[in-house]
Amino acid sequence: MKTVQKYKICRRLGPGVFEKCQTPKFVASVARHDKGKKDKRPKALSGYAAQFIEKQKVRFTYGISEKQFSNYINEAVAHKGVIAADYLFELLESRLDNVVYRLGLAHTRRLSRQMTSHGHITVNGKKTTVASQRVRVGDVIAVREGSKKSPLFAEMDKKQKDYTIPNWLTFNVATLSGVVQGKMKNTEGYLDLPTVLEFYSR
């Protein structure tokens, strides 16, 4: 997806959707776009529009199709004994491409998806090319031995110095491997998953 198109989506849904929008360059782009619009009041969103935007925000953040997302929604709603929004967050965060991204092995989810589909990643010692594979507590996610010399993983120790790994993961930069230590919790508050569930309950 082109940068211009990503910027357009981020202006509509919020800068957290794409990593490329979390930069000074995007801020400058927004300033140019909003120039001369200071006196215009933003239109009030209807309930449906607000829910739709939240739904799109989640989809674009994780880079998944409408069909994939609908399947996650159905599974979360059908799962008994848990809060649907919490379980939906677990389903999204436990995708292998997302975990590779959260470990800091890739600076975007799109790149982590490519790494996985090209066979650079293993789960519990077995190579996989399925980006949507679900990982569980105790699983070991690592860079395949034959891929460790790839430029993709060069100077990983330097990259990790400025990166904070979620508390449900641990990472060993020497072995380029991480472990899922616990359940994923939606503590950032950026994604309003209850509102998304309301959209699908219509």
Residue with tokens 């860079």: 143
Percent of the chain with pLDDT over 90: 67
> Torsion over CA of 83, 130, 138 and 72, rounded to 10 degrees?
0
Domain boundaries, the chain: 95-180
Class of domain 95-180: alpha beta
- Report the predicted TM-score, pTM, of the whole model to 2 decimal places: 0.81
Residue 14 makes CB contacts below 8 A (sequence gap 6+) with: 57, 190
Give residue-wise pLDDT tens across range 6-51: 666 666 666 666 666 666 665 566 566 566 565 555 566 788 888 9
- What pLDDT was estimated at residue 83? 95
Identify which has the larger pLDDT, 168 or 44: 168
